[in-house]
Structure 1
Amino acid sequence: MKAGPSRTGGRSISGSEQVVRSDAGYWAMRARVIVPFSGVRGEERTLAYRGLYAAVDGMAGEILVPCVARWRPYDVHGRMLSAAAAATFADGGGLMDHSGFGQTEVVYMRAGADAALGATRITVLHTDVPPLRPGHYFGLGDRLYLVARAWANPSVHGVIAFGGAPITFGGEPLNFGSVTYSETIEFWPKLRAPLAAGEPLILGRPVCRMRMAADETGVFDQINLNSADVSIDFAEVW
C-alpha cells in the first residue's frame, strides 16, 4: 500500500482541512499467512519461517518482497504475464528438492529515453504488446511502481514486398500490422534512481526492496504448537 504521500494538520474548528501531497511516499506491505488456507504449520514450514525471521535481521536487514497482483500486463499472444518464477512438470510436480524449472522473464517493454532521479513520468517503447494501463504494477530493477495515467501512441509498420518492391493498395503500401507503441506513463512513487534509455521494465514479477517495519513485527505465536497465523510488516528501503 502507499504510505506517506500526504500530510494534514487536522481539521480546524470550522471543519475545514488543508492537505498537502508529495511524490516522495514509500511502499508499505503486510504479509499474512492464514492457517485455514496454508498457514505456518508442521516442522518444514515452521523452521522455514523461523529461518526467514532470523535472516531478515530486524529493521537492519533487507529483502526483496514480490508484488502479487491478479491483473497483470499481457504478452504478444494476448496472455497475461506469469507471476511464477519457475515452471513445473505437466502434473504440477517438481524436482527432488521440490523446485521447478527457472524461467527468465521475457523483456517486452523498455524505457524509451533517459529519466532523472525523482521523475514521475517516463516514455516506454514496445512492439505488438498491449499498452500499460492505469492500475498496472511494473518494476525497474528492485523497485516497484504503480501506473497512474498512460497515453499510448501506436504506429503500424512492416511493409509487404514482392521481388523487393512494396505491394500497394490505393497508392499506399500494404503492411502486415506490426504495431510499435511509444507510450507515456505517469506513476507513483517517484523514480528511486536515474533511468537509462533501453532499461527493461519488469511486468510479470516485479519486486520491492524492503525491510521489516519494526523489530517486533512477524513474531511467531505458538499458542497452538502445530500451526499459527503470522503477520509481518515491511516498509520500502528508501
Structure 2
Amino acid sequence: MEATFPFMAGFRSGLPYLGGQTIDTPRSISGIQGVVPSMSARWIMECQFVFHGEAATLQWNAFIGQMGGRQATTLVPVHQRYMPKTRDGRPLSSENVAGLAGAQTWEGFGFENTRVTRIQTAAAAPLRATLLNLELLDTTGLRPGHFFSIGDRLHKVLTHVQPTLDTHRITFQPPLRKAVAAGAHVEIETPVCRMRFSSDDEGRYEGAFDELAPMPRIRFEEAI
C-alpha cells in the first residue's frame, strides 16, 4: 500500500543518513574490536514538518491514516540546502508541486510540474553498482555530497570525475537497489526515497485548539 505524501506540509528539518553500515563484533581480551561492513545499510530520516490551516491539517491527518502505522510506504522528498545548478549556473528548486492559493480541494491535490530530465545515465549499470557514467543535459552536474534518486531509490554522491570531455563519472552510496538502463532519468531537483514509519506512533500531535502551526516529527526508514 502506498500513501500520498502531504505536499502542503512545510519541511523544517531532516537530512537522510545511512544506518546499519557495519556489524557489531565482540571485543577481544586485548581490547581490539574489528569492524565488519554490512550489506544491509538503509536510509533513515528524522524530520520535522509544520502545517497551517484547514486544508493542510486535514491532508496531514489523512496521510497519517493512509500510512497505517508501519504498513504503507510513501515517497519522501529530500530537501537540500545547496542545490545543483542549471547549465546557466542558476540554483534549481526543490519544490515540485504547486497548490491552489486560497482554495480548498476535497482531495487535497496539487499540480505537479512537468518533469525535466537534466541528467540521464550514459551507460547501463548492474545491480549493486556504486559507479555511474552520466550525461549532463541541463545542469553543471552533481557535486560530492549532493543527493539524487533513480526511480524511488535515493543515493548520495561521493566522488565526481571527468575522464573525458563528455563523460561524467560518479561514485555513490548505497549500491544500486536494481539494475539501471542507459538513458534512465536521474532526479536531482526533488530526489525521493521510498520509506515507511519507524514506529506506529509517528506523526502524532496534540491538536490543541490554540495551536496555530503544529510541528510534528516523523522518523522514516527506507522500505527495501
TM range (shorter): 0.7 to 0.9
Which shows bigger deviation, 123-132 or 207-216?
A: 123-132
Q: Which amino acid aligns with 1:56?
A: M
C-alpha distance 62-121 of structure 1, shift in aligned 2 (>3 A): same
Q: Deviations over 1:63-91 (max 9, x none)?
A: 11000101121111111121111468xxx
The reply to whether residue 117 of structure 1 matches residue 127 of structure 2 is: yes
Shift of 1:94: 3.4
TM norm structure 2: 0.80
1:147 matched residue in structure 2: 157
SS of match in other structure, 2:143: coil
Gaps of 5+ in 1: 34-38, 156-180
> What's the counterpart of residue 170 of structure 1?
none
Rounded to whole Å, the distance in 2 between the matches of 1:139 and 1:217 is 24
Q: How does 1:28-177 map to 2 (within 5 A)?
A: 28-33=44-49, 39-40=50-51, 43-86=54-97, 94=101, 96-97=103-104, 102-127=112-137, 129-155=139-165
- 2:196 counterpart of 1:233: no
Find 1:208's aligned residue among 193, 203, 207. Answer: 193
Q: Deviations over 1:27-68 (max 9, x none)?
A: 1112213xxxxx456544433221111011111101110001
Structure 2: stretches of 5+ with no match in the other structure: 1-16
* Aligned pair partner of 2:41 in 20, 25, 49: 25
Structure having the higher strand fraction is 1
Q: Distance in 1 between matches of 2:97 and 2:151?
A: 19
Moved more, 23-32 or 93-102: 93-102
Q: Measured at CA, do residues 217 and 96 of structure 1 come closer, stay the same or move farther in structure 2, by a change above 3 Å?
A: closer
Aligned counterparts of 1:23 and 1:78: Cα–Cα separation in 2: 37
Q: Tell me the TM-score normalised to structure 1 length.
A: 0.75
Q: Cα gap change, 1:147/1:23 in structure 2, threshold over 3 Å: closer, same or farther?
A: farther
Residue 102 of structure 1: how far off its partner (Å):
3.7
RMSD: 2.5
Q: Which has the larger radius of gyration?
A: 1
Q: Report runs of 4+ in structure 1 exceeding 3 Å deviation.
A: 10-15, 39-46, 93-102
Distance 1:127 1:217 in 2: 39
- Aligned-partner Cα distance in 2 for 1:63–1:198: 25
Q: For residue 107 of structure 1, report the CA deviation from its aligned partner.
A: 1.1
Name the SS for the 2:206 alignment partner: coil
